[in-house]
């Protein structure tokens, strides 16, 4: 005969096992996003074992009678059942996620360090060309896409891996709109543009007033390279929103004044 107190304790035990499983599953997803597939698999197996333990406790409970004849399902038991169900769904999603990352890792077929080195060499090539044509005061930033970003873009846009062209991407930030188009010409003189992959959001801004030139080229070693080109003012609005754009205009583009104004605005907001 099982008392209500014992039922509650067993319910807490189920929740504890499910909680351990959830912790391992979330950690598994994080490791997978960092490319540590083996570590993710190990945590997934640990979570599965915790779920088995939780099911064993649940089976033991259901095989017993509560005091008074019929089992008295208390709030904690309802909570335990819900937690267990949620964890089971999370386990299925985690397995799918790890499998997806493993496929992406195989398709990328090179370490992030190799891509970072490729990025540095590409930035140097473009920097030399922009200097050669006389552009001044520009910046070039680059990034190598994480597995997490690749996975999210494939999922969000319903694309296959072969349709993701920005595994490695550059952003060129210039002083003027004219410099943007000069930089675009330099990019296309260095590398052949991919058909259908050029968008002029400067001449035709998006509805949210986003402005930039986007082009994808066949870069060094014949691999796709996405490049965005915009002015500093466009970059402020794209990255930080209309408030930052207003501060930029007000400061005349001065970094020192802009930082002071931004801090003052932060102080005003914090005081509300």
User: How far, in Å, CA of 86 to CA of 103, rounded?
Assistant: 26
Residue 79: active-site member: yes
- Set 44, 55, 79, 188: catalytic member: 79
What is the residue-wise DSSP string for the chain?
-B-HHHHHHHHHHHHHHHHHHHHHHHHHHHHHHTT-HHHHHHHHHHHHHHHHHHHHHHHHHHTSPBTTSS----HHHHHHHHHHHHHHHHHHHHHHHHHHHHHHHHHH-S-HHHHHHHHHHHHHHHHHHHHHTT--S-EEEEEE--HHHHHHHHHHHT--GGG---SEEEEEEESSHHHHHHHHHHHHHHSEEPTT--EETTTS--TT----EEEEEE-GGG-EEEEEEEEHHHHHHHHH-HHHHHHHHHHTT-HHHHHHHHHHHHHHHHH-
Residues labelled as active-site residues: 79
């Amino acid at each position: 005969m099982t008392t209500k107190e014992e039922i509650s304790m067993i319910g807490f035990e189920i929740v504890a096992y499910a909680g351990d499983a959830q912790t391992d599953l979330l950690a598994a997803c994080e490791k997978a996003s960092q490319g540590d597939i083996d570590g993710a698999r190990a945590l997934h197996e640990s979570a599965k074992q915790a779920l088995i333990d939780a099911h064993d406790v649940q089976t033991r409970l259901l095989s017993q009678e509560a005091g008074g004849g019929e089992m008295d399902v208390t709030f904690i038991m309802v909570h335990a059942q819900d937690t267990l169900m949620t964890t089971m769904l999370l386990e299925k999603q985690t397995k799918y996620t790890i499998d997806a990352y493993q496929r992406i890792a195989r398709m990328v077929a090179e370490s992030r360090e190799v891509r970072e080195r490729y990025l540095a060499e590409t930035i140097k090539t473009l920097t030399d060309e922009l200097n050669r044509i006389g552009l001044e005061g520009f910046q070039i930033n680059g990034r190598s896409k994480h597995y997490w970003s690749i996975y999210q873009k494939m999922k969000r846009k319903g694309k296959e891996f072969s349709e993701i062209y920005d595994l490695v991407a550059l952003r060129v930030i210039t002083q003027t709109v004219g410099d943007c188009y000069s930089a675009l010409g330099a990019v296309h003189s260095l590398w052949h543009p991919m058909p259908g992959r050029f968008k002029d959001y400067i001449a035709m801004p998006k509805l949210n007033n986003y402005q930039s030139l986007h082009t994808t080229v066949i870069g060094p070693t014949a691999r796709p390279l996405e490049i965005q080109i915009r002015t500093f003012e466009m970059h402020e609005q794209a990255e930080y929103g209309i408030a930052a754009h207003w501060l930029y205009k007000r400061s005349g583009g001065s970094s020192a004044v802009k930082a002071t104004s931004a801090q003052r605005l932060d102080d005003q907001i914090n005081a509300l």
